[in-house]
Amino acid sequence: MQVWRSYCGFWGAVCATTAFLAGCVGEISGGQSDVGKGRDGPVAEAIVARLSHWEWEQSVRELFGLDALSISLVSDPLGGKAFDNNQSALRVGPSLWRDYQAAAEVVAERVTSDPTLLERLAPADASRTADERATAFIETLGSRAFRRPLLASEVTARRALFAQGPALYPELDPFVAGVRLCVEAFLQSPYFIYRTETREASGDGDGAIGNLRDWQMAARLSYAIWQGMPDPELYRAAAAGELSSAAGVLSQIERMLDDPRTAASVERFFEQLYDADQYPHMQKNQAKYPDFSPELAGDMQAEFLKFTQNVYQLGGGVRDLFTSTTTFVTPRLAAVYGLDGATLAAPDADGFSRIELDASQRSGLLTLAGFLAWKGTDSQPNTIQRGVFVTRRILCQPLGNPPVEAQGATFGNQTTNRARIEALTGPGTCGAGCHGRYINPAGFAFEQFGALGEYRTDEEGSPIDASATFEFAEGPASYAGASQFSQLLGGSLQAHACFSGYLLEYLRGREGGPEDAALVENLARRSLGGASIRDLLAAAVVSTTTGAELTTGVSL
């Protein structure tokens, strides 16, 4: 049932009255909201942020109490963005809009076909008339779907839509038919698909909804920290006006950080920032790596997630991401590390055993097998790709485009991988600039790791040279291999600033700009000084929601 045909008048009215959708196909206006004015400078008139596919799915599941959801939405063209919630890449074109329509119909049918879900959504009440029950359903579901109470005019419009249900679904009970049609409508509303923040302080004249900024703050907090809709406690705090004060916001942030949903959101942050979601797609030469399999690739992804969660859950900081030697392996992954699977400690419920890696060989996430194998060819270490990734994602060092002369260039027949890289991009070549200063030095640090992440000391009988000098923002620093380089990264303000910038990007759903420089530097110095990742998350959320700076006197 294409509710769009009955609902397009409402969508058109939204487009006309708020002017935040260009052509009604989902152009996004950027900027910051007016919830708190502080160190970030002037604020924009409004935010209209389309939910990412993950946020949309989480919101639907939480809205109806669904354990699982099998919905296909056309992929967003992220264009190299680090995170899938980047607003500059999230639009609603014809294909996605059709998917939203189909998804709304599927969810509405599922909810209204399940007596338990239907009773939860619209509980029977003998003391109410059918009309009163319908109104209560509309107001309750609407306030959660729109993440604010409905205006009187919105309730009236949906009551009229509810009344059309029996004619459109004659095979259903009239009340159930109305519920199904309204569920479809709520899920196709721009107020569900988009998270909006405006300057208006209350209703539009046809029914006050209290302090709108409290409701907007609740949504901002939940989508920043959980990537999902507000929970009942946030709705209660918004209704009570508690989110208008910094103290009220701090109280909610402290509570939310202890919720398991925060750990799940942090996991997604790490997975996307460091490309671990790409590990299952890697392939290796079966002649050289006969033990490689999709299952091993899956183990590498799971290891990465367990590694980062271990750092986060134990109160570790950014330095620990680059220096910790604790990781988790299965017997087949242990073989990559040169360990005997039979000697592993008792595994956890997922089949992973905790181990300590040789600190002289490995240090931190960049020496885990997953990263090294992902940034490897099917048979050789990919020194250039390793160097590019570290330079861009770990240090946020800008790199220009490859020179025209480099297009089509191929490696020579030198004995070692390093010799081939230097012959192609080293001194005296067209790539000597960025490659010589950043890419090659960063990549050479991992030269002792093969295409599967295995440690090696020689290549074709020649000793491997993993030494180099990298030009950090703080100055050049030399190292003899991956462990020393990772230690340098852990002590580099540049690396801590890069991490802090990406954390802000993830929480805000937008890339940073010059106006964020002071906040990024503040977070970076906290991080370098030993602040945990949890503390950085708290400080970043406080600053981006209240405009204030989290002081050391506030315990989170």
DSSP string, 163-227: HTHHHH-TTS-HHHHHHHHHHHHHHHSHHHHEEEE-S--S-SSSS--S-HHHHHHHHHHHHHHTS
The per-residue DSSP string of 473-510 comes to: TTEEEEESSHHHHHHHHHT-HHHHHHHHHHHHHHHHTS
Q: How far is Cα 178 from Cα 163, in angstroms, rounded to an integer? A: 6
Query: Both tokens of residue 457?
Result: 């000391």
The H or E element spanning position 328 is strand 326-329
Radius of gyration of the chain measured on its C-alpha atoms: 27
- Per DSSP, what are the bridge partners of residue 22? none
Q: How far is Cα 12 from Cα 435, in angstroms, rounded to an integer? A: 52
466 secondary structure, DSSP code: -
69-75, long-range: CB < 8 A, 24+ apart: 69/107, 71/99, 71/103, 71/106, 71/107, 72/99, 73/99, 73/100, 73/103, 74/99
Angle, helix 294-313 to helix 260-273, in steps of 10 degrees: 120
Residues contacting residue 446 through CB under 8 Å, at least 6 positions apart: 366, 367, 372, 381, 383, 386, 466, 482
Largest CA distance in the chain: 87
Residue 449 backbone dihedrals phi, psi, to 5 degrees: -120, 125
Q: How far is Cα 281 from Cα 298, in angstroms, rounded to an integer? A: 9
Residue 200 has a pLDDT of 52
SS3 496: helix
Residue 141 backbone dihedrals phi, psi, to 5 degrees: -65, -40
Q: Which residues of 172-191 are buried (b: 16+ CB within 10 A; e: fewer)?
A: bebbbbbbbbbbbbbbbbbb
**Are 421 and 409 contacting, i.e. CB atoms less than 8 angstroms apart?**
no
Residue 326 has a pLDDT of 98
Return the closest-CA partner of residue 52 out of 234, 230, 194.
194
The H or E element spanning position 462 is strand 462-463
Q: How far is Cα 64 from Cα 60, in angstroms, rounded to an integer? A: 6
Q: What is the pLDDT along the chain (556 residues), one digit of tens a residue?
A: 544 333 333 333 333 323 323 322 222 223 333 333 333 333 344 678 999 999 999 999 999 999 888 889 999 998 889 999 999 999 999 999 999 999 999 999 999 999 999 999 999 887 889 999 999 999 999 999 999 999 999 999 999 999 999 999 999 999 999 999 999 999 999 999 999 887 554 444 444 455 778 999 999 999 999 999 999 999 999 999 999 888 999 999 999 999 999 999 999 999 999 999 999 999 999 999 999 999 999 999 999 999 999 999 999 999 999 999 999 999 999 999 999 988 899 999 999 999 999 999 999 999 999 999 999 999 999 999 999 999 999 999 998 776 655 555 566 677 788 888 888 777 655 455 678 789 999 999 999 999 999 999 998 889 999 999 999 999 999 999 999 999 999 999 999 999 999 999 999 999 989 989 999 999 999 999 999 999 999 999 998 877 666 554 333 3
Residue 431 has a pLDDT of 55
Return the closest-CA partner of residue 270 out of 28, 82, 13.
82
**Are 241 and 217 contacting, i.e. CB atoms less than 8 angstroms apart?**
no
Amino acid at 101: Q
**Are 435 and 391 contacting, i.e. CB atoms less than 8 angstroms apart?**
no
516 secondary structure, DSSP code: G
SS3 518: helix
Q: How far is Cα 347 from Cα 188, in angstroms, rounded to an integer? A: 46
**Are 519 and 40 contacting, i.e. CB atoms less than 8 angstroms apart?**
yes
Tokens 């055993």, residue located: 353
Q: How far is Cα 258 from Cα 29, in angstroms, rounded to an integer? A: 32
Chain centre distance of CA 357: 29
Q: Is 40 exposed, middle or buried (0-12, 13-18, 19+ CB in 10 A)?
A: middle
Residue 47 has a pLDDT of 79
Q: How far is Cα 442 from Cα 468, in angstroms, rounded to an integer? A: 8
In degrees to the nearest 10, what's the CA dihedral of 126, 128, 134, 138?
Answer: -110
Q: Where are the domains of the chain?
A: 4-209, 277-489
The H or E element spanning position 522 is helix 517-528
Q: Which residues of 226-255 are buried (b: 16+ CB within 10 A; e: fewer)?
A: bbbbbbeebbebbbeebbbebebbbebbee
Residues contacting residue 520 through CB under 8 Å, at least 6 positions apart: 497, 500, 501, 504, 512
Tokens 């220096």, residue located: 323
